[in-house]
């Protein structure tokens, strides 16, 4: 391999996009850049009370151009730009958008510029809970089980539920919509200069895990499945796709327009897109039967197994099992928690209310000092809560929480579920409540591991990647203790972007397959958390309490949902 070959990995997260330039010879980071979405940071087009979270495509386009150009400049400008051979992209998901016949997101058209329904529907948008329930009930009417490869339960976080909700609530968008496209499929289409929605290459990852695509079905479920669900969906499959592409395949060459804008050559190969956790698992050097946990605002948990060894096993209540969705030739199995870092962020926001709201009214400090204090305290809260919580003893009578603050992703998707904190008393201070929340997220992780094992899929260990894994030793040690197994933390800071760069090296022809790219470009692990055997018994009892409390909450939520449906 030539010494001077570089690739770019682009990782779209919930709050920001990050790009990295990586030396394809060894995986060394040459430059990185992060862009926070400006419209998202302003809270535009979102309403948390309604579970509505939308993102404007302009945030994505601006972030793509800004971060790549910044990386090139940091790395040396034109000299390194000439040696860049490939670009691959990962995104959150399911985060789809309505496009017209040219493949343009409707929000980029003047008449839809401020319409949230014309924007990307972020993964954590749960406005389609009703539609997901209808899909689950409808699927039971068919001889073929179209939900068999998505754990038997369709989620409001996914492709079809979101599409059905949007076309029902917005007639103008419904009339203008030509196709429905995942974020990870649209960005490669954009970079390659696509002009027809019909030409968008759909990734195996997004199609299999969120859109019910399966080799057994010869593509998507038939149009009759969707038209009988709601006539508004009649004919939609004809505007979508039958063929899918694994992420080691090319989506095309960088368009002349984007090459000029970015300062790159137009012979740069653009890879087919995939979801962040799936490429992140590759960046984190996933091994068969090791669970890769991307721990950020939520978690997305990925396990791979040789397809021959799965041999017809269907794992109930997970987010899908798809041949080639992570590594071609292996089956990728996905699970996750709908709120992980978001749980800690919620609590931080809750206890920061006086500082955020009242400090500006103070007559003792000027505005600049107030703003500086607010920023300083914001940075200190979680580290100090972690330090204080780590000093507390672990016992059966402590405060107990359930981590469903944004519903439950797995096992057994139910986005209508709610979080809870139990056992509060007048001695329940912030560190104690924070510890309960941290325990709850770790118990949620254990419920996923237990589901895999009970369904006949062994879990040999945990690979931790993402912001929480890198920044919170307190959470990682607790998770190792709760799970009773070691957790290895990957050394690369932007691991999902590194995974995208590994795929870029494959599509550019630098490596023949993903395994060789991982071997050459993976840098290993920089920390391992070993479980404390002395805590095993008490955490097992705490976990049983968590399960019992969760069962009670699930029962109450079911009653409430039934009453709401009856009065709707």
Express each pLDDT in 386-398 by its tens digit.
999 999 999 999 9
Q: Does a structural domain hold residue 314?
A: no
C-alpha 457/C-alpha 452 separation (Å) is 5
C-alpha 283/C-alpha 278 separation (Å) is 9
Indicate whether 266 and 352 sit together in one domain.
no
C-alpha 23/C-alpha 39 separation (Å) is 33
Give me the pLDDT at residue 562, please. Answer: 43
Give me the pLDDT at residue 563, please. Answer: 42
Q: What is the mean pLDDT of residues 503-507?
A: 98
C-alpha 318/C-alpha 391 separation (Å) is 35
Q: Which two tokens stand for residue 366?
A: 């000027």
C-alpha 162/C-alpha 147 separation (Å) is 16
Q: Which two tokens stand for residue 323?
A: 């041949």
Please answer whether residues 95 and 123 qualify as being in contact, where contact means their C-beta atoms are separated by less than 8 angstroms: yes
How confident is the model over 405-427, as pLDDT tens digits? 999 999 999 988 999 999 999 99
Indicate whether 128 and 245 sit together in one domain.
yes
Q: Does a structural domain hold residue 267?
A: yes
Burial class of residue 108 (count of CB atoms within 10 Å of its CB; 0-12, 13-18, 19+): middle
Indicate whether 256 and 367 sit together in one domain.
no
Alpha helices in 391-456 (DSSP H): 430-454
Give me the pLDDT at residue 312, please. Answer: 82
Indicate whether 239 and 348 sit together in one domain.
no
Q: Is the pLDDT of residue 506 over 60?
A: yes
Indicate whether 125 and 29 sit together in one domain.
yes
C-alpha 81/C-alpha 6 separation (Å) is 9
Angle at the Cα of 382 (from 379 to 386), degrees rounded to 5?
A: 140
Indicate whether 393 and 511 sit together in one domain.
no
**CATH number of the domain that 547 lies in?**
3.30.420.40
Domain count, the chain: 2
Angle at the Cα of 163 (from 166 to 216), degrees rounded to 5?
A: 170
DSSP 276-319: HHHHHHHHTT--TTEEEEEESSSEEEEEEEEHHHHTT---TTSS
Q: What is the mean pLDDT of residues 246-274?
A: 98
Indicate whether 369 and 381 sit together in one domain.
yes
Percent of the chain at pLDDT > 90 equals 93
Which residue in this structure is represented by tokens 């041999």? 311
Give me the pLDDT at residue 556, please. Answer: 83
Indicate whether 389 and 276 sit together in one domain.
no
DSSP letter assigned to residue 418: -
Angle at the Cα of 476 (from 454 to 488), degrees rounded to 5?
A: 75
Residue 567's pLDDT band (cuts 50, 70, 90): very low
183: left (phi over 0), alpha (psi -120 to 50) or beta: alpha
Please answer whether residues 513 and 502 qualify as being in contact, where contact means their C-beta atoms are separated by less than 8 angstroms: no
Give me the pLDDT at residue 557, please. Answer: 73
Please answer whether residues 489 and 528 qualify as being in contact, where contact means their C-beta atoms are separated by less than 8 angstroms: yes
Please answer whether residues 479 and 442 qualify as being in contact, where contact means their C-beta atoms are separated by less than 8 angstroms: yes
Residue 288's pLDDT band (cuts 50, 70, 90): very high
How confident is the model over 82-115, as pLDDT tens digits? 999 999 999 999 999 999 999 999 999 999 999 9
Distances in Å between the Cα of 215 and the Cα atoms of 154, 320, 412, 524 are 18, 13, 23, 34
- The bridge status of strand 120-121 relative to strand 54-55 is antiparallel
Q: Does a structural domain hold residue 406?
A: yes
How confident is the model over 443-480, as pLDDT tens digits? 999 999 999 999 999 999 999 998 899 999 999 999 99
Q: Does a structural domain hold residue 209?
A: yes
Burial 415-451 (b: 16+ CB within 10 A, else e): bbbebbbeeeeeeeebbbbbbbbbbbbbbbbbbbbeb
Q: Does a structural domain hold residue 309?
A: no
Residue 2's pLDDT band (cuts 50, 70, 90): low
The mean predicted confidence, pLDDT, of the chain is 95
Indicate whether 425 and 516 sit together in one domain.
no
Q: Does a structural domain hold residue 315?
A: no
C-alpha 81/C-alpha 227 separation (Å) is 49
Q: Does a structural domain hold residue 24?
A: yes
Report which of 333, 341, 334 is spatially closest to residue 298, judged by C-alpha positions.
341
Cα Rg of the chain (Å, integer): 23
Kind and range of the H or E run holding 185: helix 183-191
Indicate whether 131 and 186 sit together in one domain.
yes
The pTM score is 0.92
Indicate whether 504 and 562 sit together in one domain.
no
Indicate whether 54 and 172 sit together in one domain.
yes
189 Cβ contact partners less than 8 Å away, ≥ 6 residues apart:
103, 181, 199, 200, 201, 251
Range of the domain at 411: 341-490+532-567
Q: Does a structural domain hold residue 113?
A: yes
């Amino acid at each position: 391999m030539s010494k001077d070959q570089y690739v770019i990995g682009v990782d779209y997260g919930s709050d920001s996009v990050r790009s990295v330039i990586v030396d394809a010879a060894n995986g060394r980071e040459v430059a990185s850049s992060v862009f926070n979405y400006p419209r998202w940071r302003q809270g535009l087009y979102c309403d948390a009370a309604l579970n509505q979270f939308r993102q404007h495509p302009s945030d994505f386009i601006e972030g793509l151009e800004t971060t790549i150009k910044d990386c090139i400049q940091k790395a040396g400008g034109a000299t390194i730009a000439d040696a860049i051979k490939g670009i691959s992209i990962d995104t959150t998901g399911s985060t789809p958008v309505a496009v017209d016949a040219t493949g343009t997101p409707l929000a980029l058209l003047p008449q839809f510029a401020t319409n949230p329904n014309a924007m990307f529907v972020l993964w954590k948008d749960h406005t389609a809970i009703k539609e997901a329930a209808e899909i689950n009930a409808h699927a039971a009417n068919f001889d073929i089980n179209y939900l068999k490869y998505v754990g038997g339960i369709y989620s409001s976080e996914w492709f079809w539920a979101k599409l059905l909700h949007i076309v029902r609530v917005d007639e103008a968008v419904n009339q203008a919509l030509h196709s429905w496209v995942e974020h990870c499929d649209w960005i490669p289409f954009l970079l390659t200069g696509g002009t027809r929605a019909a030409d968008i290459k759909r990734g195996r990852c997004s199609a299999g895990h969120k859109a019910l695509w399966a080799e057994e079905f010869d593509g998507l479920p038939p149009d009759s499945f969707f038209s009988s669900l709601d006539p508004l969906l009649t004919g939609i499959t004809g505007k979508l796709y039958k063929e899918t592409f694994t992420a080691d395949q090319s989506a095309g060459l960088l368009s002349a327009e984007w090459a000029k804008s970015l300062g790159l050559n137009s012979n740069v190969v653009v890879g087919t897109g995939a979801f962040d956790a799936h490429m992140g698992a590759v960046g984190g050097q996933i091994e068969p039967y090791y669970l890769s946990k991307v721990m950020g605002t939520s978690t997305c948990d990925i396990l791979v197994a040789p397809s021959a060894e799965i041999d017809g096993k269907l794992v109930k209540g997970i987010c899908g099992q798809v041949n080639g969705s992570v590594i071609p030739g292996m089956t990728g199995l996905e699970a996750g928690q709908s709120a992980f870092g978001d749980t800690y962020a919620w609590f931080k926001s809750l206890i920061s209310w006086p500082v955020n709201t009242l400090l500006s009214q103070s007559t003792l400090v000027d505005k600049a000092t107030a703003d500086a204090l607010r920023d300083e305290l914001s940075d200190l809260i979680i580290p100090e809560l972690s330090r204080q919580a780590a000093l507390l003893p672990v016992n059966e009578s402590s405060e107990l929480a359930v981590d469903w603050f944004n519903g439950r992703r797995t096992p057994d998707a139910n986005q209508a579920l709610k979080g809870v904190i139990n056992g509060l008393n007048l001695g329940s201070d912030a560190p104690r409540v924070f510890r309960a929340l941290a325990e709850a997220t770790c118990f949620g992780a254990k419920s996923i591991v237990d589901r895999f094992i009970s369904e006949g899929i062994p879990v040999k260990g945990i690979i931790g990647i993402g912001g929480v894994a890198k920044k919170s030793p307190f959470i990682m040690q607790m998770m190792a203790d709760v799970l009773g197994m070691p957790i290895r933390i990957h050394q690369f800071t932007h691991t999902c972007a590194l995974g995208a760069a590994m795929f870029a090296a494959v599509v550019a022809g630098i490596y023949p397959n993903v395994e060789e790219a991982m071997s050459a470009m993976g840098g290993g692990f920089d920390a391992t958390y070993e479980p404390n055997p002395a805590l095993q018994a008490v955490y097992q009892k705490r976990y049983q309490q968590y399960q019992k409390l969760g069962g009670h909450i699930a029962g109450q939520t079911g009653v409430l949902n039934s009453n709401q449906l009856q009065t709707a």
